[in-house]
Amino acid sequence: MIDVVIIGAGMAGLTAAIYAGRAGKKVVVLESNVKGGEIVESTIVSNYPGVPDISGADLMETVAKQAEGFGTQIKYEEVLGIEDHGEYKKVKTDEGEYEAKAVILAMGTEPRRLSEKQAADAGKRPVSYCAVCDGALYEGKPVVVVGSGNTAKYVMKYLEGIASKVYHIHHDDPIPEDAEAVFVAIGRVPNTGFLKGLVELDSNGYVVAGEDCKTSCPGIFVAGDCRTKTTRQLVTAAGDGAVAAGQL
Ligand SMILES: Cc1cc2nc3c(=O)[nH]c(=O)nc-3n(C[C@H](O)[C@H](O)[C@H](O)COP(=O)(O)OP(=O)(O)OC[C@H]3O[C@@H](n4cnc5c(N)ncnc54)[C@H](O)[C@@H]3O)c2cc1C
């Protein structure tokens, strides 16, 4: 039987894998997208201690290699559900199932999507959740940014250097007709939909756990951005990964 299945190959999951693998545990990491998590889309990370300036992709490539060096297997499968059988957990994916003595939840968050009304308004126009990834495609063209928080302000500033005009609207405002692309920055939601009824979630869907990373279900731990916490950054995700693995 596998000692621990870790769900998500972002900073939290891969750090947990480094610690668990180094402690001699049999570790499988399940990842539904690309390894490295959401930070791989960032061109520059300047606040990770010990690594002054590095792209998110390069940073996470190193972390993934470190985890694999301690025997971690990374498999590209989406987790659809978990069954609690007390002494062991059954993790069900789009490709099969795994039995493990423990599970670490490290699924992070994803951008909140446009409302149905705004999505209909956008019609066939491209909708992007990553200005750094897609902004360059709209050089000299009018675009619109949806959102009212700090991220929306950052996205607007970034696009002002590229687009001919940057409209700014709030959630549910009509989308200007001449905008050629819609950039969305209306917050994030945790990837925890498949956990309902298994572990305690807060009203926003985050997995309830304190600094010990223990969920309401014995044998299931949580690390990183999908946990209830005040600061969601790489360094806190890494810290959670170490703590969660230390509980095994
Ligand atoms: C634009 C942007 C810039 C940022 N810049 C910085 C920065 O400069 N410095 C900093 O410290 N932090 C930064 N952050 C925050 C940082 O990216 C996060 O705090 C960190 O990535 C969280 O790591 P994580 O492992 O918890 O989650 P994630 O990185 O989100 O990783 C979760 C992984 O789980 C996978 N997953 C989700 N659901 C499933 C499932 N059902 N089955 C299998 N796999 C699943 C996802 O595909 C993903 O790969 C930034 C965030 C954004 C959005």
How does DSSP assign 37-88, residue by residue?
Answer: -GGGG-S-B--BTTBSSB-HHHHHHHHHHHHHHTTPEEE---EEEEEEETTE
Give residue-wise pLDDT tens across range 6-38: 999 999 999 999 999 999 999 999 999 999 999
The stretch 139-143 carries a mean pLDDT of 97
CB 180 within 8 A of CB 163: no
- Model confidence at 215: pLDDT above 90: yes
Please provide the distance, in angstroms rounded to a whole number, between the alpha carbons at the two ends of the chain: 14
The pLDDT of residue 58? 98
Question: Residues enclosing ligand 1, CB less than 6 A?
Answer: 7-13, 30-33, 37-39, 42, 45, 47, 78-79, 106-109, 191, 224-225, 232-235, 237
The pLDDT of residue 179? 95
SS3 219: coil
Q: List residues with catalytic annotation.
A: 130, 133-134
Q: Which of 196, 15, 180, 219 is nearest to 100 (CA)?
A: 219
pLDDT averaged over the chain? Answer: 96
- H or E element: which one contains 197? none
Atom of ligand 1 nearest to the CA of 227: 26
- Model confidence at 172: pLDDT above 90: no
Domain positions in the chain are: 2-110+188-246, 113-184
Give residue-wise pLDDT tens across range 40-63: 988 899 999 999 899 999 999 999
| The residue count for the chain | 248
Query: Do the first three CATH levels of 2-110+188-246 and 113-184 match, i.e. the same topology?
Result: yes
CATH code, 2-110+188-246? 3.50.50.60
SS3 15: helix
DSSP 51: B
User: pLDDT category, 171, cuts 50, 70, 90?
Assistant: confident
The stretch 63-79 carries a mean pLDDT of 98
Atom of ligand 1 nearest to the CA of 33: 47
The pLDDT of residue 78? 98
Task: Kindly give, in sequence order, each residue whose CB lies less than 8 Å from that of residue 38, ignoring residues fewer than 6 positions away.
Answer: 10, 108, 109, 110, 225
Residue 38 Cα to ligand 1 midpoint, Å, equals 4
Q: Which of 185, 193, 189, 200 is nearest to 225 (CA)?
A: 189
Atom of ligand 1 nearest to the CA of 78: 42
Give residue-wise pLDDT tens across range 97-138: 999 999 999 999 999 999 899 999 999 999 999 898 899 999
pTM (predicted TM-score): 0.91
Structural tokens at position 247: 């509980």
Q: What percent of the chain lies above the pLDDT cut of 90?
A: 92
The pLDDT of residue 132? 82
The pLDDT of residue 43? 87
Residue 248 Cα to ligand 1 midpoint, Å, equals 23
Pairing of strands 97-105, 127-128: unpaired
Pairing of strands 181-184, 88-93: unpaired
The stretch 66-72 carries a mean pLDDT of 98
| Superfamily the domain 113-184 falls into | FAD/NAD(P)-binding domain (3.50.50.60)
